[in-house]
Structure 1
Amino acid sequence: MGVRLRLRSPCGVTVSELLWLSVLLSLTSCAGEASVGPTPDGQGPVTDLQLHPRQKMLTWKYRSPVSAGLCSMDAPLSPAVNTTPRVLDQDTYFCAFPSSVLHRGATFTVYSVVANVTVQQTLLFRNPGAVGAGATNLSCVVYAVSFMNCSWVPGRTAPADTRYQLFFWFHPNDAEAECAHYLRDSKGMHVGCHFNQLPGEPRTSDNYFFLVNGTSSQAAVPFLDAVPFVPFLNEKYSPPGNIMVRPAGPGFEVRWEEPPRRFPQSPSSLCYELDVQRKGGGRRTEPIFQRGQDQNRYELAEGEAGSFVRLRVRHMRGTIWSEWSAAVGFGPDRGHDVLALARVLSAVGLAALCTVVMMVVCKKYSLQQRLLPPIPRVKDELKAAVQLEQEVTMKEADLPEPHDVLVVQETQ
């Protein structure tokens, strides 16, 4: 944590404030010499000076006419902020500091030029509550297009019964609302908030505002505020999808698709990181960063053969990376192995198919022989019958002619 050195004038005004005052004084020095000091009557022109912490707005009224004015906010660990007053209504003026934080306390100063004299009125703001009891490290992340999670760390001296509450609003003029789905730690203390659905039509100009305060029966708990949350810079994308690696000339070409986003912008607003892992577990020395394109692609050298590649993505102006995608293998060595394996499997499959067909045919023929024995040929049977008949005829022709046979019957 650094220390900010500030140069102050003998009157207690910072150098930057003096520059602003010099501009104001130059506007009013035409009629005479200008100076810094009290008004002639000893009273400042500003009255009813008030701070509205939720709106981070300073309001007041003037008891006498002024020719120029300036507002300044000085907070620990933050640069000083200067702005010019504006009219709120008929007799009330205000200065707003929407991008500042108040939980560390702040000093507000209103400078006014009255009769060529610049006067100042100061308001000190301190965050009420026990030191160290308030929440710290508030952060929010948009994910899966329409969801958001916010988280914080309980104060190191927060009592055990501390109950933190998160309030939010999506426009400076909106009414605040409390979180509906708190996330709790193992002790049951609120440490986060889940948003099931973000409201409205998403725009890159959207700002979300958050405030975490707390209650306890043992001590007062300071609040925690934050600078406006810019959701399109704090969206965690899904990993790049549909990753393909194809041969391209002597090397390979990687192609992928950008992830879905809640806040659509041009493809060039995305930054991709490619992690190429060599075969055997090695990794490239330098990471590869690629800006988004209409057709996302990247060429890999031939030397990357037999490796794997994976990708992740973030917004060009953001810091939240997606998870890594699944690794995709590529390279001719891997391709040749796959091709050889495919050929072997094809040959084995063809041989197995032929074997099965032959077995089926043989089995079918054997069963047919058993159930349907061969039928004798009709032509051969007829030929054999004719030959037999001719032989019988010829034998009959050789027999002697029959003689008369006398049958003698014995008589008694």
Structure 2
Amino acid sequence: MVAPLALIFMTQWMLLITQLCVGWHCTECMNGSAIENFSCVIYNVSLMNCTWQAGKDAPGDTQYFLYWQNSGYDDARECQLYIKDENGRNTGCRFQNVKIDTDKAYFLVNGSSKDSRIQFYDEYIKLYKIEKLMPPSNITVNCDEIKNDCIVQWQRPPISHSNKDKCFKYEINMKDKDNPEGKTKYTSIQEGGNSHTFQIFNTRKKYLLKMRTAGSACFMSPAWGEWSAPVEFGKEEIISSSVWILLVVAVATLLVAIITILFCKRTGCWKAAFPQIPEPKNAFCGLPDTNPELMESKIQSNTSENEEILLVADVVK
């Protein structure tokens, strides 16, 4: 059965090429009119995009058409959803419900123009090699503050042609939450499995962890896929927040005190609130002089004055 099917497949394509009347050996075809930079990518399990650029020497009215066959057992079919440029020219195709097979898929892009015949472009591609793997899903991180380690767990990304964990490898990347664009704190590549344990220096900080997937075996693409959305884990530093609160309160209190002192000194309320205490008088101030000579001279002076007063009084009588 294999030989007849292969013969039918080859016959179909030979008829198609003959009917289109194009080919690399077409002597009447314009050189440089075939498409350039043809590439395809499979994403989200079963979606595929193929793109190309018009030939550098193709006439301006050239229109391109894509035909493809997933395997030798499928019929050749034309693209159903073309991607067009601003001039309406086909520059790509979108495919849905693509099934990845281990056989090579065949792609052919031909063209038509009023001015000349257009060269065609064809290529065999292994679809699993152009698949862009999705990141793992349901990523969770749990940490042990006593052991200072964390375990990250995930589910392998869905693909249409394998269900074995050993077919995948994963890259794990971790950074500080407060500096997501800064230096990577931890990175590792995990072969297969769905969990990974790593040491962490400070479990009381916030971190961001992301993962991506590549094929390790099993007819899968070895290219890394897109990164997952960052997963946040860890705890905030309670001490640091308390310190900030105390610092703010202390600074605010100090500022209020300084402003109050300056205001009182300027308006005089400082003296009213804190009046000055008068100095104590000298307890010995005004006491009679204890010098004997001075005391005797003062007594004599007082006695003579008293005698004079008495004499004046007698005369008046």
Q: How many residues align?
A: 220
> 2:167 & 2:118 partners in 1: Cα distance?
41
> 1:302 & 1:328 partners in 2: Cα distance?
18
Kindly report which structure 2 residues correspond to 1:9-408, keeping only aligned pairs within 5 A, or say none: 54=13, 125=25, 129-172=29-72, 174-198=74-98, 202=99, 204-227=101-124, 229-248=125-144, 249-278=147-176, 279-280=178-179, 281-284=181-184, 287-293=187-193, 295-302=194-201, 305-316=205-216, 317-332=220-235, 334=236, 336-337=237-238
| Pair 129,296 (structure 1): closer, same or farther in 2 beyond 3 Å | farther
Cα deviation, residue 173, structure 1: 5.7
> 1:234 & 1:289 partners in 2: Cα distance?
21
> 1:253 & 1:311 partners in 2: Cα distance?
14
> 1:267 & 1:274 partners in 2: Cα distance?
16
Cα deviation, residue 164, structure 1: 0.5
Cα deviation, residue 217, structure 1: 1.4
Cα deviation, residue 286, structure 1: 7.9
| Pair 128,137 (structure 1): closer, same or farther in 2 beyond 3 Å | farther
SS at the partner of 1:208?
A: strand
Does the aligned pair in 2 maintain the 1:256–1:297 contact within 8 Å? no
Cα deviation, residue 337, structure 1: 4.6
| Pair 167,192 (structure 1): closer, same or farther in 2 beyond 3 Å | same
Structure 1 residue runs of 5 or longer lacking an equivalent are: 1-50, 56-102, 106-124, 342-412
- In the superposition, the TM-score normalised over structure 1's length comes to 0.47
Match of residue 6 from structure 1: none
SS at the partner of 1:284?
A: coil
| Paired residue type of 1:161 | D
- In the superposition, the TM-score normalised over structure 2's length comes to 0.59
SS at the partner of 1:233?
A: helix
Match of residue 313 from structure 2: none
Cα deviation, residue 192, structure 1: 1.0
> 1:307 & 1:257 partners in 2: Cα distance?
21
> 1:303 & 1:159 partners in 2: Cα distance?
65
**Aligned-residue identity in percent:** 29
> 1:243 & 1:144 partners in 2: Cα distance?
18
Does the aligned pair in 1 maintain the 2:33–2:55 contact within 8 Å? yes
| Pair 219,319 (structure 1): closer, same or farther in 2 beyond 3 Å | farther
Cα deviation, residue 287, structure 1: 4.8
> 1:153 & 1:300 partners in 2: Cα distance?
49
> 1:310 & 1:206 partners in 2: Cα distance?
33
> 2:95 & 2:27 partners in 1: Cα distance?
28
Q: Which deviations, in whole Å up to 9, do the C-alpha atoms of 1:317-376 show, x marking residues without a partner?
A: 5254332211122234x3x559x89xxxxxxxxxxxxxxxxxxxxxxxxxxxxxxxxxxx
Does the aligned pair in 2 maintain the 1:140–1:151 contact within 8 Å? yes
> 2:12 & 2:232 partners in 1: Cα distance?
56
| Pair 169,319 (structure 1): closer, same or farther in 2 beyond 3 Å | same
SS at the partner of 2:166?
A: helix
> 2:28 & 2:168 partners in 1: Cα distance?
43
> 2:57 & 2:40 partners in 1: Cα distance?
23
| Paired residue type of 1:209 | Y
Does the aligned pair in 2 maintain the 1:233–1:315 contact within 8 Å? no
Does the aligned pair in 1 maintain the 2:151–2:195 contact within 8 Å? no
Cα deviation, residue 238, structure 1: 2.6
| Pair 267,161 (structure 1): closer, same or farther in 2 beyond 3 Å | same
> 2:222 & 2:47 partners in 1: Cα distance?
18
> 1:298 & 1:130 partners in 2: Cα distance?
61
What root-mean-square deviation, in Å, do the aligned CA atoms of Structure 1 and Structure 2 show? 3.4
| Paired residue type of 2:104 | N
> 2:32 & 2:51 partners in 1: Cα distance?
17
> 1:298 & 1:127 partners in 2: Cα distance?
64
Cα deviation, residue 126, structure 1: 6.5
SS at the partner of 1:232?
A: helix
Q: Which deviations, in whole Å up to 9, do the C-alpha atoms of 1:37-88 show, x marking residues without a partner?
A: xxxxxxxxxxxxxx98946xxxxxxxxxxxxxxxxxxxxxxxxxxxxxxxxx
| Paired residue type of 1:253 | I
